[in-house]
Structure 1
Amino acid sequence: MNPKVKETAIPAKSKIAEDIPGAYFYDCFQTPFDHAGLSAMQIYMNTFAKTPAWVNALMGIRNRVVVLFGLKNVGGMKALNKSKSAEDYQVGDKAGIFSLVYKSDEEVILCDSDKHLDVKVSVCKQTRDGQPFIVLSTVVHVHNNLGRAYMVFVGPAHKVIAPAILAKA
């Protein structure tokens, strides 16, 4: 893990913190980041557009395997509409592999749901002791045994993938 990326608690004042009760899995990572003049949506777009190639390769393998078990192929992490500006995104719009469910200047929450699980991802701007940073939080609610089985593999991998994505911010 990038030494500047640190695992942390989901910020209590972030909107995604409301989704923690009953969650099967959640994690949160932060990194120093001068976010002056950037919206949370722009940070999400910039960060996920730089997803490491090895993460996209893993997503490709994931997509080929999970369709055999009734989960959907979500595509690649870099699948963002480059012609659409951050300001143009509205709640309900697809933004890469996720759908936008909450948008403010300080935080965006994106979601992917199916009958097996709901995944929410937040990018949140924070400042503590004068130091600006960004926080990447993930909260997962599972609905059945297939969702739980999926998370047996994805949970540990996520602890490596999320910081790798955040390190590219």
Structure 2
Amino acid sequence: MPSELTLVKPVALPTQSAVATVYESTNLADAFAVQLPFGASSDPEVLWRFLISQQPSWIGWLTNARDAIVACFGLKTAKHLATLSSEANADRIGIFKVYAKSETEIVLGEDDKHLDFRLSVLHTPDLSPTLGGQLTVSTVVHCHNLLGRAYILVIAPFHRQVVKASLRRAAHIGWPKAAAR
């Protein structure tokens, strides 16, 4: 049975998140949260970098399969986006463009011809002195056309499993510690 610190739960899109109102209409909006332990970092960028560096290996296989399919439609692939990260002026983390950063949230995403998406990594403090706050990963998608809507219809169940599995694995491994001040 998962402990409170590894339990990933679906939650409402946080109203304080920058992605809550980024699009006038959305074709997908979801959020998943996990409790952080006392002493864990509260820096959303540190938490995001850790989260994506610890993903289960099957996510890489799924990404490769996705890339093979979407390349046929002229859509951006993860491989292409990864090359953008190596450019000197690129404000990216892995395949994701960074749109905004604050002490409590980092907003990442990408725009393409079929859809635009934003992903929020939000840390909210906890009132309990024995816990390290809550980490919420939220995704919102705005589709431009039928291709985007069809894509989301197919990809949404995989997306949700990827987010939940990534959060569970990071919690199981142990979140990075807060930087000493």
**Is the pair's TM-score, using the shorter chain for normalization, greater than 0.5?**
yes
**Residue matched to 1:111:** 109
> Is 2:81–2:96's contact at 8 Å kept on the other side of the alignment?
no
> Is 1:112–1:120's contact at 8 Å kept on the other side of the alignment?
yes
1:12 paired to 2:15 = yes
1:7-30, Cα deviation, whole Å (9 max, x unpaired): 001111111112254011011000
1:70 paired to 2:74 = yes
Look at both structures and tell me which one has the larger radius of gyration over its CA atoms. Answer: 2
What is the CA–CA distance in structure 1 between the aligned matches of 2:52 and 2:147, rounded to whole Å? Answer: 27
- The alpha carbon displacement at 1:104 in A equals 0.7
Question: TM-score, normalization: structure 1?
Answer: 0.84
> Is 2:42–2:104's contact at 8 Å kept on the other side of the alignment?
no
What is the CA–CA distance in structure 2 between the aligned matches of 1:72 and 1:20, rounded to whole Å? Answer: 21
Question: TM-score, normalization: structure 2?
Answer: 0.79
Distance change (3 Å), C-alpha of 1:136 and 1:76: farther
What is the CA–CA distance in structure 2 between the aligned matches of 1:46 and 1:142, rounded to whole Å? Answer: 29
**Residue matched to 1:85:** none
Q: How many corresponding residue pairs?
A: 160
Query: Pick from 90, 94, 118: which aligns with 1:120?
Result: 118
Query: Pick from 42, 46, 59: which aligns with 2:46?
Result: 42
**Residue matched to 1:60:** 64
**Residue matched to 1:138:** 139
Name the amino acid aligned to 1:5.
V
- The alpha carbon displacement at 1:94 in A equals 1.5
Name the amino acid aligned to 1:17.
A
Name the amino acid aligned to 2:47.
I
**Residue matched to 2:156:** 155
- The alpha carbon displacement at 1:75 in A equals 2.9
1:27-55, Cα deviation, whole Å (9 max, x unpaired): 10000113654411111101111111001
> Is 2:8–2:164's contact at 8 Å kept on the other side of the alignment?
yes
**Residue matched to 1:22:** 25
The RMSD of aligned alpha carbons is 2.7
Name the amino acid aligned to 1:64.
A
